[in-house]
Amino acid sequence: MPTEVTSSIGTIETEAEKILVEARAEVSKILLKAKEESVKILSSELPMDETKVECEHIIQSAREEAGRKAEDSREKASKIRADINNRLEGIVERMAAIIATGVDPR
C-alpha cells in the first residue's frame, strides 16, 4: 500500500514538473520568436520610429502570452498538488481505519 501511494505521488509530481518544463520551453520559444521578429523589423526599410514601436509591441505581446502560459501551468501544477494532498488524506484515513479496526472500510 505505501509503495502504491509513493508511486502515485511520484507520478503526479513528475507530471506537474513536466507541465512546468513544457511551459518554460514554450515561454522561451515565444520570447525567441519575438526577438527574431524584432530583428527582422529592425533590419527592414521601415522608418525607425515605427519599427521601434512595432518591435516593442511584439515583445510586449510575447511577454504577456508567456506570462499567461506560465500562470496556466502554475495553476495546473497547483491543482495536481491539491489532488495529491486529497489522495494522501484519503489514504491516511483508510490506513488509520484499517489499523484501528483491522478492516478495510471500502
pTM of this structure = 0.49
Name the average pLDDT for the chain.
83
Could you state, in order of their start, the residue ranges of all structural domains in the chain? 2-98
For residue 24, how many C-alpha atoms fall within 13 Å in the half-sphere facing its CB? 6
- What are 67-93's pLDDT values in tens digits? 998 898 889 888 888 888 888 888 888
Higher pLDDT among residues 98 and 51, named by residue:
98
* Predicted confidence (pLDDT) at residue 1 exceeds the cutoff of 60: no
CA distance 75 to 72: 5
Grid cell, residue 26, equals: 514554450
- What are 16-32's pLDDT values in tens digits? 888 888 888 888 888 88
